[in-house]
Amino acid sequence: MAKTNPGRFFEDYSVGQVLHHAVPRTVTDGERALYHALYPARHALYSSDEFARNCGLPQSPIDDLAAFHVVFGKTVPDISLNAVANLGYAEGRWLKPVYPGDTLRAESEVIGVKENSNGKTGVVWVRTRGFNQRDEVVIEYVRWVMVRKSNLDAPAPEAVVPDLKKALDPQDLVVPSGLDFSNYNFVQSGEGHRWGDYEIGETIDHVDGVTVEEAEHMLATRLWQNTAKVHFDLTFRPDGRLIYGGHVISMARALSFNGLANAQMIVGLNGGAHANPCFAGDTIKAWSEVLDKAQTTVPGIGAIRLRLVATKGGEPFVLKNEDGRYQPNVLLDLDYWALMPV
Amino acid sequence: MAKTNPGRFFEDYSVGQVLHHAVPRTVTDGERALYHALYPARHALYSSDEFARNCGLPQSPIDDLAAFHVVFGKTVPDISLNAVANLGYAEGRWLKPVYPGDTLRAESEVIGVKENSNGKTGVVWVRTRGFNQRDEVVIEYVRWVMVRKSNLDAPAPEAVVPDLKKALDPQDLVVPSGLDFSNYNFVQSGEGHRWGDYEIGETIDHVDGVTVEEAEHMLATRLWQNTAKVHFDLTFRPDGRLIYGGHVISMARALSFNGLANAQMIVGLNGGAHANPCFAGDTIKAWSEVLDKAQTTVPGIGAIRLRLVATKGGEPFVLKNEDGRYQPNVLLDLDYWALMPV
Amino acid sequence: MAKTNPGRFFEDYSVGQVLHHAVPRTVTDGERALYHALYPARHALYSSDEFARNCGLPQSPIDDLAAFHVVFGKTVPDISLNAVANLGYAEGRWLKPVYPGDTLRAESEVIGVKENSNGKTGVVWVRTRGFNQRDEVVIEYVRWVMVRKSNLDAPAPEAVVPDLKKALDPQDLVVPSGLDFSNYNFVQSGEGHRWGDYEIGETIDHVDGVTVEEAEHMLATRLWQNTAKVHFDLTFRPDGRLIYGGHVISMARALSFNGLANAQMIVGLNGGAHANPCFAGDTIKAWSEVLDKAQTTVPGIGAIRLRLVATKGGEPFVLKNEDGRYQPNVLLDLDYWALMPV
């Protein structure tokens, strides 16, 4: 019974290692439709081929977060099967839209390792890249996780902690080739608010909420071929399956349509914390804060930096307690850049 | 926090107003497959491209009710976000089949307003049209809803109550261009009963039942981008999410395959009442009554007018109490025209 | 109320009869995506068009078991609507891959009947064939079921019990035209184990488990247009909907990726027993035993015969009690041939 994948342990990682993740995946109109059944996703660029063409793209891409989840899912068997915590994201960029028919694969390079003082776990940093069938990088991001050691006698490696940007610079953001908002249709997009209408520091309560069901988050997580047992097996998690953090991200982002309908494309992921675990029965609500705004290299296309917060039940608007820890009903604190018509 | 959509209130509507609904949607094979996963839909014309070609169409259209739901879903943020009741449908027609790859958008014209004597609510009538990417009308229907006033001091508008047909005349029905039942395959369709085999007044108990689950109706409702919170948020509806009425329509219509397998295409919606709310755990059963029959302009294609009743648990076959109100376990009372081989 | 299908009873079957099953079905990328949302399916040949092309196929086929379920679902209204037990499978073969866009239909020939001594039920054997739109047989298998008599006075037919193979001979297996594993990518497939690495008698515990939810098995079963009420109607099955046996097969097969990632294509079904019923809340786990190995006619492609066992909760590895009956938490005991790179 030794043919199954035990996953990697902390001592199995070393800086410079490149992991070629298994099972490439072709994404189609089927994944696109499922994304719209699983999340209240309504951003027009991803909903209508005609709207996308009117914005200079050949058709609607696969939702930006769906593409992220496919790439992320590939990494799970190699990165996080024995992870005890998902610690952070940084320097995430969407470099090329993914279209129905594209086939994605993923690679990760280990860019940092640091054993914890307890000698039982360590932190591993990887830079993951998702490629399409033309070997073009479509997505890249850094993630770091805490991983168990299997052999407690394995010597601690030399600590390497990568120097990561707190946030991407606007000039790091890639505007998809051809994207053009000069004929942007604000009636069809659902709201009239442009880039110029948002102010740094402004917060938006996205009003709506979704109470999550077990069947839904499992369908979503499997769709991305993320098969980590914590998400599926109630004998392993008798108090409730742990919901894949990406499910919360997609739900919150979809809810943010109401108030941010024109924040069309996610192009940068500056950071993110899964502040508390999410379980079936929780009602996900979301609010956003405008953190920054910037021009892009393309006239008419602005970049907006947003904090996206998901909570259970809608409160609080204060994220952390006095001790600096997230309040117990905060689920997600995400920091991203999106493109908007100016 | 003023960038979100509060919805329209009664005083915001006036006769002649045209509302251009947001977020056009491209429907694909993905929506088609999901429709078959969500409902026990088996009508052959929508299941098999070969069967559809044998009936003169280029391929299977998107299910007639799926196309309706997409159009309906677009109207929710503008029409029924503050609605307290969905009062009725009339003069619904399917004018062009919708095919995978088509992009649908919707417009509604306000054709009637009437403030209620309480001064707090009013009834709004709209004629909604769904268009494809060639600006052809694919679906149209009238719907009226009771909507709250926000400003109770707003003066009552002049009452305009549209004159609506109790039922479409057979000559109002549009047979899709090219449709031809001369090579209709009654073995593949699942039943041998033709138009001539049904008698006015005949009732058919469709036998099967489906107990509805929360995850399923949410997947369906989201797929049509209907994001009204009553369908999703248990903190807003602690006693149970209200199931989108269209979910009951589709479930009942799919169940009606057993006995009406050759009532292939819905072409007219004469009226409909969501008699009582439906919740997860209810078991939807259905029965039909033949209300009328008519020739169409195309030889070999007959029209059949059907009452489709959905109930919780299968009873009763008497719809209303002595006081004229629907019995408590009646969910739906729908009146439609379908096309059948003669 | 006589227009609905009552199903066939034992006395309605006779040897030589050919049943043409209703409602052909076009399968698309939508069904493919749903299969990956419903099961943790990761076999690379069905996940990536590029991987499939690298193996000599034009693109990824629809998952082998998805094709089986579509064909099986068509037979339910004619074969098993009044069945009291699904007794077995034999001589199942996958003869042609099914691709998105193909339309499947099914026929069954009655090849055996035998009334039981109680005079109330009998066993019916059918050989079912699934055809694509070019009338090529894509799948065939024998199934036998116990069916009720409706008319207890109907005379017992002459007993005909077909002579079925215990297992397909390797030379009966059909390797899809063009399939070529000479450039097989073991990094992308997820495991390095080849045909030569497996030994007859070896067992593999597939580690992972999935706790099944009601909404999921209903979505799956409906997708195959299997509408038998036992799977859907809680008023008919108050203690819980009976989960379609094929759902357990697909779940177990998908779980077997972990340890059998290179057992890519199922080409033969030697036999199978649904040992105990499965209900929502059960946690499906799986283990496999290597029963046999053989060469195929194509160099580089080996055949491996596997027992696939699904259990509730993972135990036991001993299938049967001393009295020869399956232990109560065994769900499935399946015997199949798959193709593997040598």
Residue C129 sits at φ, ψ, to 5 deg, of: -125, 135
Chain A residue with the nearest C-alpha to that of B7: A258
Chain B and chain C share a number of CB contacts under 8 A equal to 136
**Chain B residues in contact with A42 (beta carbon < 8 A):** 22-23, 225, 227
Ranges of residues in chain C whose predicted pLDDT is under 50: 1
Q: How far is A317 from chain B (nearest CA, A)?
A: 12
Interchain contact B25–A (C-beta under 8 A):
yes
**Chain C residues in contact with B59 (beta carbon < 8 A):** 26
Chain A and chain B share a number of CB contacts under 8 A equal to 135
| pLDDT for position C35 | 98
Q: Which domain holds residue C232?
A: 189-342
**Chain C residues in contact with B54 (beta carbon < 8 A):** none
> Considering the domain boundaries, does residue C13 fall inside one?
yes
Is A225 in contact with A304 (CB distance < 8 Å)?
no
**Chain B residues in contact with A187 (beta carbon < 8 A):** 20, 22
The tens digit of pLDDT for each residue in B245-266 reads 999 999 999 999 999 999 999 9
The tens digit of pLDDT for each residue in A273-282 reads 999 999 999 9
- Residues 184-203, chain C, touching A (beta carbon < 8 A): 187-191, 193, 197, 203
Is B35 in contact with C225 (CB distance < 8 Å)?
no
Which of A240, A242, A253, A321 lies closest to A287, judged by CA?
Answer: A253
Query: Do residue B208 and residue C223 have CB atoms under 8 angstroms apart?
Result: no
Out of C34, C100, C233, the one facing B211 most closely (by C-beta) is C233
Residue A1 has pLDDT above 50, yes or no: no
Last residue of a domain, one of B108, B129, B154: B154
The number of angstroms, rounded, from the C-alpha of A33 to the middle of its chain's C-alpha atoms is 19
> Considering the domain boundaries, does residue B159 fall inside one?
no
Q: How far is B92 from chain A (nearest CA, A)?
A: 24
Q: Residue C70 has which token pair?
A: 């579509």
Residue B49 has pLDDT above 80, yes or no: yes
Query: Do residue C30 and residue A26 have CB atoms under 8 angstroms apart?
Result: no
Last residue of a domain, one of C124, C151, C178: C151
The tens digit of pLDDT for each residue in B293-316 reads 999 999 999 999 999 999 998 776
Rounded CA separation A104/C62 (Å): 18
Mean pLDDT, range A222-236, rounded to an integer: 93
Residue B1 has pLDDT above 70, yes or no: no
Query: Do residue C133 and residue B29 have CB atoms under 8 angstroms apart?
Result: no
Query: Do residue B227 and residue A34 have CB atoms under 8 angstroms apart?
Result: no
The answer to whether residues C7 and C135 belong to one domain is yes
The tens digit of pLDDT for each residue in A166-176 reads 999 999 999 99
Interchain contact B205–C (C-beta under 8 A):
yes
What ipTM did this prediction achieve?
Answer: 0.96
Rounded CA separation A244/A238 (Å): 16
Taking the C-alpha atoms of A91, A96, A99 and A103 in order, what is their torsion angle to the nearest 10 degrees? -70
Query: Do residue A48 and residue B235 have CB atoms under 8 angstroms apart?
Result: no
The tens digit of pLDDT for each residue in A240-296 reads 999 999 999 999 999 999 999 999 999 999 999 999 999 999 999 999 999 999 999
> Considering the domain boundaries, does residue B52 fall inside one?
no
Query: Do residue A1 and residue C30 have CB atoms under 8 angstroms apart?
Result: no
Q: Which chains touch B (3 or more CB pairs under 8 A)?
A: A, C
**Chain A residues in contact with C36 (beta carbon < 8 A):** 222-223, 225
Using alpha carbons only, how large is chain A's radius of gyration in Å?
20
Interchain contact C1–B (C-beta under 8 A):
yes
Query: Do residue C47 and residue A225 have CB atoms under 8 angstroms apart?
Result: yes
Structure letter (DSSP) for residue C257: H
Chain A residue with the nearest C-alpha to that of C32: A30
- C-alpha angle with apex B308: B313 to C83, nearest 5 degrees? 50
| pLDDT for position A150 | 94
Query: Do residue C211 and residue A235 have CB atoms under 8 angstroms apart?
Result: yes
Task: Give the rounded percent of residues in chain A with a pLDDT score beyond 70.
Answer: 99
Chain A residue with the nearest C-alpha to that of B105: A188
- The two beta strands, B137-148 and A83-94, are unpaired
The answer to whether residues C136 and C201 belong to one domain is no
| DSSP character string of B269-335 | EEEEEE-S---TT-EEEEEEEEEEEEE-SSTTEEEEEEEEEEEETT--SS-B-TTSPBPTTEEEEEE
Is A104 in contact with A137 (CB distance < 8 Å)?
no
The answer to whether residues C114 and C215 belong to one domain is no
Which of C324, C214, C210 lies closest to A231, judged by CA?
Answer: C210
The tens digit of pLDDT for each residue in B50-82 reads 999 999 999 999 999 999 999 999 999 999 888
- Residues 275-304, chain A, touching B (beta carbon < 8 A): 281, 283
Query: Do residue B28 and residue A33 have CB atoms under 8 angstroms apart?
Result: yes
Structure letter (DSSP) for residue B38: H
Give chain A's domain count.
1
The answer to whether residues C200 and C118 belong to one domain is no
Chain A and chain C share a number of CB contacts under 8 A equal to 135
State the helix-helix crossing angle for C245-255 and C64-79, rounded to 10 degrees.
170
> Considering the domain boundaries, does residue B101 fall inside one?
yes
Rounded CA separation A208/A255 (Å): 7
Query: Do residue B197 and residue C23 have CB atoms under 8 angstroms apart?
Result: no
**Chain C residues in contact with B259 (beta carbon < 8 A):** 1, 3-4
Is B264 in contact with B45 (CB distance < 8 Å)?
yes
Query: Do residue B215 and residue A211 have CB atoms under 8 angstroms apart?
Result: no
Structure letter (DSSP) for residue B39: S
Query: Do residue B232 and residue A211 have CB atoms under 8 angstroms apart?
Result: yes
Query: Do residue A3 and residue C214 have CB atoms under 8 angstroms apart?
Result: no
Is B94 in contact with B138 (CB distance < 8 Å)?
yes
The answer to whether residues C120 and C206 belong to one domain is no
pLDDT band of residue B329 (cuts 50, 70, 90) is very high
Q: Count of alpha carbons within 13 Å of C119, Cβ hemisphere only?
A: 5
Interface mutation target, options C46, C184, C214, C257, chain A, most CBs of A under 10 Å: C257
Sign (positive or negative) of CA dihedral B91, B95, B97, B98: negative
Residue B137 has pLDDT above 90, yes or no: yes
- Burial (CB < 10 A; 0-12, 13-18, 19+), residue C109, is middle
Interface mutation target, options A18, A21, A25, chain C, most CBs of C under 10 Å: A25
What is the domain-level CATH number for residue A316?
3.10.129.10
Q: How far is C220 from chain B (nearest CA, A)?
A: 6
Residue C314 vs residue B116, higher pLDDT: B116
- Burial (CB < 10 A; 0-12, 13-18, 19+), residue C297, is exposed
- Residues 308-327, chain A, touching B (beta carbon < 8 A): 313-314
Is B240 in contact with B279 (CB distance < 8 Å)?
yes
Rounded CA separation B102/A309 (Å): 35
**What contacts C3, CB < 8 A, 6 or more positions away?**
B191, B193, B197, B204, B259, B260
Which of C284, C305, C263, C316 lies closest to C172, judged by CA?
Answer: C305
> Considering the domain boundaries, does residue C92 fall inside one?
yes
Out of B29, B193, B215, the one facing C30 most closely (by C-beta) is B29
* C-alpha to C-alpha distances, B8 to A278, B83, B109, B119, nearest whole angstrom: 34, 9, 14, 16
**Chain B residues in contact with C3 (beta carbon < 8 A):** 191, 193, 197, 204, 259-260
The answer to whether residues C341 and C283 belong to one domain is yes
Query: Do residue A32 and residue B33 have CB atoms under 8 angstroms apart?
Result: no
Out of A48, A215, A314, the one facing B103 most closely (by C-beta) is A48
Rounded CA separation A85/A148 (Å): 10
Q: Which residue shows structure tokens 């004229």? A: B324
Chain C residue with the nearest C-alpha to that of A2: C204
The answer to whether residues C195 and C264 belong to one domain is yes
Mean pLDDT, range A187-214, rounded to an integer: 96
> Considering the domain boundaries, does residue B181 fall inside one?
no
**What contacts A29, CB < 8 A, 6 or more positions away?**
A100, B28, B29, B30, B100, C29, C30, C33
Last residue of a domain, one of B132, B154, B176: B154
> Considering the domain boundaries, does residue A2 fall inside one?
no
Three-state DSSP at A170 gives helix
> Considering the domain boundaries, does residue B4 fall inside one?
yes
- Residues 31-60, chain A, touching B (beta carbon < 8 A): 31-34, 36-40, 42, 44, 47-51, 59-60
Is C236 in contact with C229 (CB distance < 8 Å)?
yes
**Chain B residues in contact with C34 (beta carbon < 8 A):** 33-34, 37
Which of A93, A79, A90, A70 lies closest to A139, judged by CA?
Answer: A93
